[in-house]
Structure 1
């Protein structure tokens, strides 16, 4: 199919964004706001990457990420810019539990990614021996962290393995689907890393983090969702960038990149697109392939990034079938420590957590489970019915749920989450250093600065701002960073 790629002479340069996930769309939004002409190339038939909605029993729900950290403002800003500000919604309940030692136990408060500040809140989650081990921490010799350290190894050394296995692992697993004993503290829990670098007991470091947070007196919700699902965000951003003059080409895989005297040639199955600048907003393996010829050092580093896969099992039950189940009432869901040998790693009670889900389907109770961790992914290749059965079995054991769902939906995210092992930030710095040697080329996405939605958007903003600097010489203060308007449209983006 012939596509229009005519240059808009009112803009100062042409930037091509490769990848139509939330990072690529956010980069396109930022580049447009800076006055560039933008083309987004997406290899598949769908925008949004790991953000996706679907239907369960006729009700629209998220089948990928379902919320974003609101204390980081980038996600809320982009949603507002795309015209979704009035649909932002905090969780109706954030009362989570841990399913451990054969019971649903309240998630202890006052922790940093599972590392406790108040050990007295851990009774029932930890054994008496585990609690006694924590009490010894202030008498231990300080543990050096150097340039980086694995979260699990450091916390186990200071507080014992029980804290890691029953609290840190399920929390980190919910974010990265990874192994706490491999995950980098500096990359995954930077505030904790900075606190322990100050020295002294780990418990004191957690308390310092909490005191600083209290001193900031933050208000408002910690997390936000969107009415209709966080998976509606990519479509709204895409509409905004199209309204701003960008072109989005679907089912257009990039086959190769060539550096030219004036910029870049982007080879697709429909021909070659000339670009002044490129933003690669793709998974590491794709970026590695595309950079192999022009930036081999970065390509090698990207090829070494590992990923974890996971599956989400979404289920709808008749509300009348679950109304007498007290374990389902008042909870947003529960986490599952892998040490307990269960099949699911978490469950989210969507109809409790999100008011919009309950309002959209008042006669249903919607929940979802997640399965799959780094290195434990073989079961993801089982039939959908087997994953549903495994989820129902664990839900029966955890919450006494014996009702049968009226509808189910299994969503597999193969290679969905990049892993952040010890040294990850150093690897990212090397990648960026090599990429920056080629003017008009930047990378962004979940690989680099965090897997959450605001982190991906921040990564995209950084890449876009550096591209603008490459092309125009504008400093950060000269770039129009206003999040609610695409310059040149004459109207609010997305309206």
Structure 2
């Protein structure tokens, strides 16, 4: 039995691992990756002699997928939790506490915004429950339109955009309510009388459980463990160019005939591979935009007096080039133990991919200058690493839920093929693990049934 997994990101690696579990040692599982390494946007490199993540650095700890996977792979001792510090918002040339009691930056009351927005906006938020809300059940609009109309543009630019930028490398104008904030959409559909009421209904129940988790040695530890446990053959620097039907299975060029295939590639690549075998699915995938970003990881002298916060998020419209700083040594206790202070500077979002084309020197200079501006202190890196992520994150635009439903419906009757990836049901690592697991289950079931016929 020969299975192809196209794409060696976290979704593809989990799919390969789950296929091994289901199909046993005799299955020939081939992972085809067009890049020079596996892991996709999960990438750990060395900085100042220690591992540091240059892509995602955390996962939502209230979802079980990553923690359970780590336990399966013997990585329980790698689990770390953040210190619980909160980020700042840089707006109008000064730092403000991140508003509390919000849903992805959308406030549940006006008081949390005091000092961040002007008096007129404060009053607009405070009186929003008194204004009629006209919401059509089942509607799906972008976050900017909804929040801007009800709470004003300052709430969008100074509270919502900075948080959405961290999750999607996008802005609220590119993100739809239904896909990105499903509990809010449900509250509105169920008849909430105001956006304030809908946010309060949609917010998760208070919990003492840590919201996030990470890996002590970075995601590289998880990638290495998955790679080994999958027992797969890895073919890197080679792109899949075609997926086609064949008698009894599939053909994946350039590796040839396979019994089944998991396509765990970004949406535009998936669209090209599905073009002939599932044109409806291909059109759905082709409609998903990707955003690009760049990251500068800096090792600073340990005594650098950084703010005692987890990070600094930059409001839309500020005359800075960076969109956010993660104060990693403040955020993670295990990183605070190192001999240097670690900071990550993020650049770029949907519609602004210019930083990807700057030289490393220009990116580093912008990171140093902007960090000095928002902290008010001189910044003198000891060592720096630059990482670019072209097309790194899919945008969950209005209509995304229907688009994905159409895609999955279009391949539902195709025996032995499945899709996985961050563009389907969540961009976070737990969602990608779930996606890879579901894809492996689908094709493994088809393979087992075919052998029993």
The whole-number CA distance in structure 2 between the counterparts of 1:342 and 1:28 is: 42
CA contact (8 A) 1:26 1:78 kept: no
The whole-number CA distance in structure 1 between the counterparts of 2:155 and 2:105 is: 7
Q: Within the alignment, does 1:231 sit opposite 2:209 as a pair?
A: no
* Residue matched to 1:425: 401
Shift of 1:473: 5.3
Give the one of 99, 116, 119 matched to 1:128: 119
Q: Within the alignment, does 1:17 sit opposite 2:8 as a pair?
A: no
Shift of 1:300: 2.4
The whole-number CA distance in structure 2 between the counterparts of 1:347 and 1:18 is: 33
The whole-number CA distance in structure 1 between the counterparts of 2:336 and 2:48 is: 13
TM-score normalised by L of structure 2:
0.94
Over aligned residue pairs, what C-alpha RMSD do you find?
1.7
Shift of 1:452: 0.6
Q: Within the alignment, does 1:396 sit opposite 2:372 as a pair?
A: yes
Give the one of 294, 297, 300 matched to 2:280: 297
* Residue matched to 1:412: 388
The number of equivalent residue pairs is 445
Shift of 1:341: 3.3
* Residue matched to 2:211: 222
CA contact (8 A) 1:66 1:231 kept: no
Shift of 1:58: 2.1
CA contact (8 A) 1:264 1:278 kept: yes
The whole-number CA distance in structure 2 between the counterparts of 1:424 and 1:341 is: 32
Give the one of 239, 247, 254 matched to 1:253: 239
* Residue matched to 2:144: 152
Shift of 1:219: 4.2
Partner secondary structure for residue 181 of structure 1:
helix
TM-score normalised by L of structure 1:
0.86
The whole-number CA distance in structure 2 between the counterparts of 1:232 and 1:451 is: 20
Q: Structure 2: give runs of 5+ residues left out of the alignment.
A: none
Partner secondary structure for residue 335 of structure 1:
strand
The whole-number CA distance in structure 1 between the counterparts of 2:351 and 2:180 is: 19
Q: Within the alignment, does 1:352 sit opposite 2:330 as a pair?
A: yes
The whole-number CA distance in structure 2 between the counterparts of 1:469 and 1:227 is: 35
The whole-number CA distance in structure 1 between the counterparts of 2:384 and 2:447 is: 50
Shift of 1:356: 2.5
The whole-number CA distance in structure 2 between the counterparts of 1:250 and 1:84 is: 26
Q: Within the alignment, does 1:315 sit opposite 2:298 as a pair?
A: yes
Q: Deviations over 1:268-321 (max 9, x none)?
A: 2xx42x22211100011211222222222222222222111100011111123x
Q: Deviations over 1:98-152 (max 9, x none)?
A: 1112222111111100011132121111111110111221121223143312111
| Structure 1 segments of 4+ aligned residues over 4 angstroms from their partners | none
* Residue matched to 1:339: 317
Q: Within the alignment, does 1:190 sit opposite 2:179 as a pair?
A: no
CA contact (8 A) 1:50 1:65 kept: yes
The whole-number CA distance in structure 2 between the counterparts of 1:356 and 1:240 is: 27
* Residue matched to 1:441: 417
* Residue matched to 1:486: none
* Residue matched to 2:61: 70
Give the one of 202, 208, 217 matched to 2:195: 202
Partner secondary structure for residue 317 of structure 2:
helix
The whole-number CA distance in structure 1 between the counterparts of 2:384 and 2:33 is: 29
* Residue matched to 1:119: 110
